[in-house]
């Protein structure tokens, strides 16, 4: 049985000493480089920009004799066995890092985020598998979220909630990034290259050309902690009913009406894409989950895009009922 490790590459980072390394990775870290030894470069064929990968490192500065430690180095916390912690000091000091590939040039892969020392040896790389979600939509863009946005756009188009290039869709990932449709994209036919990534912490575009309504999405996410996904559509019946009535729900008598009356809010006509509209919607989202933009459309937030789409469909049916009755 061969138990010898082969170092397949190394990490090039800005951390020159172990004391400089953060305890956990974060979106605020600078990108680093994974440098693969050219003898193993064929093993990296099939990896692409935008892929998420697991990198296994050999934490060569670790103490292999330590079996217990204070979690996170906090001496106020009782010691635990190192197998119950993420301590780099352990019998076999293997580090596990989930990163995204930002760029590839020959044998140098720019990656983010990773918190290890410069020249840390790499012992293995594995792709993060999404099964059928394994489609490359671009750097910083989670494949599973991208596929949910793609499916939601198609279903919203199929149900007549959006047409052409109107509307926009977004969702948050676990790294503090907002994935949002690009400006001028047909939401019924979203493809790789049609999505953008925005850093919510650093307030900057990471990739793509986000929808002109991106500030409206940002204001909702910053004002409403429950929001993890947002769907903005242009439903015909809702637009017509909101022009005819101050609140079209008050014109109909169905059970569902009472549920939606608590959730719905209205914003008077403001220029699409404007900061004034973004701020008005963000303020209203503190209390209301479904916001009708008069002469414009509907914006809904939720924990998932599935929830946003379901609520949008139901409200459009209620508006259709009000339009037919009056």
Confidence of residue 145 (pLDDT cuts 50, 70, 90): very high
The domain tally of the chain equals: 2
Which of 321, 174, 181 is CA-nearest to residue 244? 321
- Quick: pLDDT tens for 156-170: 998 999 998 999 999
Query: Where in the chain does DSSP place strands (E)?
Result: 9-12, 32-36, 52-58, 68-69, 80-81, 94-105, 108-112, 120-127, 168-172, 177-181, 195-199, 204-207, 229-233, 264-267, 290-293, 297-302
From 97, 128, 159, the end of a domain falls on 128
Clarify whether residues 183 and 264 are in a common domain.
yes
The answer on 161 and 113 residing in a single domain is: no
User: Does one domain contain both 28 and 166?
Assistant: no
Residue 136 included in any domain? no
Is the link from the previous residue into 113 a cis peptide, with omega within 30 of 0?
A: yes
User: CB atoms < 10 A from the CB of 25, how many?
Assistant: 17
The string of DSSP codes covering 152-187 is HHHHHHHTTS--TT--EEEEE-TTSEEEEEBTT--G
Of the residues 102, 128, 154, which one is the last residue of a structural domain? 128
Whole-number pLDDT of residue 191? 85
Q: In the prediction, which pLDDT does 121 show? A: 97
- Would you place residue 135 in the very low, low, confident or very high pLDDT band (cuts 50, 70, 90)? low
In a domain, residue 37? The reply is: yes
| pTM of the full structure | 0.64
Q: Does residue 122 share a domain with residue 29?
A: yes
Q: What CATH number is given to the structural domain containing 110?
A: 2.40.30.70
Helix, strand or coil, per DSSP, at residue 134:
coil
Asked if residue 138 belongs to a domain, the reply is no
Over 60: is that where the pLDDT of 130 sits? Answer: no
Instruction: Looking at the structure, tell me whether residues 99 and 155 fall in a common domain.
Output: no
105 with 151, same domain: the answer is: no
Closest CA to 215 of 153, 166, 270, 282: 282
CB 109 within 8 A of CB 33: yes
Domain check: are 320 and 206 in the same one? yes
Residue 20 lies in a domain: yes
Same domain? 223 vs 321: yes
Alpha carbon distance 169, 300 (integer Å)? 10
Indicate the residue among 93, 128, 163 that finishes a domain.
128
For residue 4, tell me if it sits in a domain: no
Q: Catalytic residues, which ones? A: 213
Residues 66 and 184 in one domain: no
Q: What is the pLDDT of residues 57-70, one digit of tens each?
A: 999 999 999 999 98
Q: How far is CA 223 from CA 88, 213, 227, 278, 321, in A?
A: 38, 16, 9, 11, 32
Domain that holds residue 204: 143-325
The tens digit of pLDDT for each residue in 203-259 reads 999 999 999 999 999 999 999 999 999 999 999 999 998 888 888 877 777 777 778
**Same domain assignment for residues 222 and 265:** yes
- The CATH number of the domain holding residue 237 is 3.40.225.10
Q: For the chain, what's the residue count?
A: 326
Helix (H/G/I), strand (E/B), else coil: 83: helix
Asked if 97 and 241 sit in the same domain, the reply is no
- pLDDT over 90, % of the chain: 64
Residue 296 lies inside a defined structural domain of this protein = yes
Does residue 135 fall inside a structural domain? no
C-alpha to C-alpha distance for 242 and 299, rounded to whole angstroms: 14
Q: Is 108 helix (H, G, I), strand (E, B) or coil?
A: strand
**Residue 137: inside a domain:** no
Does residue 306 sit in the same domain as residue 159? yes
Report the distance separating Cα 233 and Cα 256, nearest Å. Answer: 21
> How do residues 67-87 score in pLDDT, each as one tens digit?
999 887 888 889 999 899 888
């Amino acid at each position: 049985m061969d138990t010898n490790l082969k170092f397949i590459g190394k990490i090039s980072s800005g951390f020159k000493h172990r004391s400089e390394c953060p305890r956990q990775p974060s979106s605020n870290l600078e990108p680093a480089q994974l440098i693969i030894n050219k003898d193993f470069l064929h093993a990296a064929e099939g990896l692409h920009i935008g892929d998420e990968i697991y990198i296994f490192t050999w934490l060569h500065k670790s103490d292999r004799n330590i079996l217990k430690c204070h979690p996170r180095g906090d001496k106020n916390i009782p010691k635990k066995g190192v197998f119950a912690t993420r301590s780099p000091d352990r019998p076999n000091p293997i580090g596990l890092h989930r990163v995204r590939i930002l760029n590839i040039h020959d044998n140098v892969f720019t990656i983010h985020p990773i918190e290890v020392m410069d020249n840390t040896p790499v012992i293995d790389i594995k792709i993060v598998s999404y099964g059928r979600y394994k489609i490359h939509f671009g750097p910083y863009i989670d494949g599973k979220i991208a596929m949910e946005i793609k499916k939601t756009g198609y279903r919203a188009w199929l149900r007549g909630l959006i047409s052409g290039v109107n509307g926009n869709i977004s969702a948050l990932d676990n790294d503090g990034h907002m994935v949002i449709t690009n400006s001028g994209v047909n939401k019924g036919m979203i493809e790789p290259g049609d999505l953008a990534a925005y850093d919510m912490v650093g307030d900057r575009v990471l990739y793509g050309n986000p929808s002109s309504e991106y500030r409206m999405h940002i204001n909702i996410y910053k004002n409403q902690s429950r929001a993890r996904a947002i769907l903005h559509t242009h439903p015909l019946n809702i637009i017509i009913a909101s022009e005819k009535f101050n609140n079209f729900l008050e014109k109909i008598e169905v059970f569902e009406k009472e549920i939606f009356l608590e959730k719905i809010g209205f914003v008077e006509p403001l220029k699409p894409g404007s900061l004034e509209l973004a701020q008005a919607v963000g303020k209203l989202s503190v209390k209301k989950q479904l916001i009708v933009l008069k002469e414009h459309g509907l914006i809904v937030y939720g924990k998932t895009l599935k929830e946003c789409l379901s609520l949008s469909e139901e409200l459009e049916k209620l508006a259709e009922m009000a339009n037919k009755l009056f």
